[in-house]
């Protein structure tokens, strides 16, 4: 059972480059979300989706785009990478009910130089 | 809006010591409350949860009670082990289903 799969695990970008962080889940979860983790800041919500075709902004959406064309996939796009986007990114999924467990990927460590 | 505040770390304890990590929240309505744990180099995983007032969540010797009157969900363990060294996150889901985290508390247990 794969759960939540994120790729790549590590990435170095130059300022101004673009890239897509991939996230896929095989649990048929409606709810998917992206977080960034920075020292002393906990996990901050970037974007989330409550189902295919529906996305919304979280706490820190600027500089990131998302789409949800299928239930399984929820990619995160950085269009013009900036050093401030250096972080560890986590994708999570869960059933839509508010009291269910969220399952997390292993994370992507991104460095923008 | 909804928010979670945790006691700051890092927390360093000796093996078999008692652990408390404080967590308080601000939320509209009746959120569900969670503790997640992150071991080094890994993603987060659920430790325990409580979905209504006075519920007690428990797992692996850890406990937390949903206290609506004090808006708190403190994590406790009677006797910590070296293997409990990790970062602990308090979280809530409220209206709209967004999962909101505290800033995390790093625990280091020394033999």
Contact yes or no for A74/A91 (Cβ under 8 A): yes
Question: Whole-number mean pLDDT of chain B?
Answer: 93
Q: How confident is the model at residue B95 (pLDDT cuts 50, 70, 90)?
A: low
Contacts of B24 by beta carbon, 8 Å cutoff, 6+ apart: B4, B5, B70, B71, B72, B73
A29, A37, A98: best to mutate for the B interface, most B CBs within 10 A: A98
A50 interface with B at CB cutoff 8 Å: yes
pLDDT higher than 90, residue B7: no
pLDDT higher than 90, residue A1: no
pLDDT higher than 70, residue A51: yes
Tens digits of per-residue pLDDT, B9-62? 899 999 999 999 999 999 988 899 999 999 988 889 999 999 999 999 999 999
Residue A83 main-chain phi, psi, to 5 deg: -55, -30
A42 interface with B at CB cutoff 8 Å: yes
């Amino acid at each position: 059972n794969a759960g939540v799969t994120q790729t790549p695990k590590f990435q170095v970008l130059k300022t101004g480059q673009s890239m897509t962080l991939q996230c896929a889940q095989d649990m048929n979860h409606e709810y998917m979300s992206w977080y960034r983790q920075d020292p002393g800041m906990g996990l901050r919500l970037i974007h989330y989706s409550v189902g295919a075709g529906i996305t919304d902004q979280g706490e820190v959406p600027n500089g990131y785009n998302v789409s949800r064309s299928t239930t399984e996939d929820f990619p995160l796009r950085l269009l013009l990478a900036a050093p401030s986007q250096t972080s560890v990114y986590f994708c999570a999924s869960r059933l839509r009910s508010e009291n269910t467990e969220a399952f997390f990927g292993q994370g992507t460590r991104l460095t923008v130089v | 809006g909804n928010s979670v505040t945790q006691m700051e770390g890092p927390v360093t304890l000796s093996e078999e010591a008692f652990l408390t990590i404080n967590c308080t929240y601000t939320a509209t309505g009746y959120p569900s409350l969670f503790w997640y744990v992150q071991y080094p180099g890994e993603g987060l995983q659920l430790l325990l949860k409580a979905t209504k007032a006075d519920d007690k969540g428990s797992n692996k010797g850890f406990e937390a009670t949903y206290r609506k009157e004090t808006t708190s969900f403190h994590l406790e363990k009677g006797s910590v082990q070296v293997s409990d060294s990790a970062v602990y996150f308090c979280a809530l889901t409220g209206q709209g289903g967004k999962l909101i985290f505290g800033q995390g508390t790093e625990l280091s247990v020394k033999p």
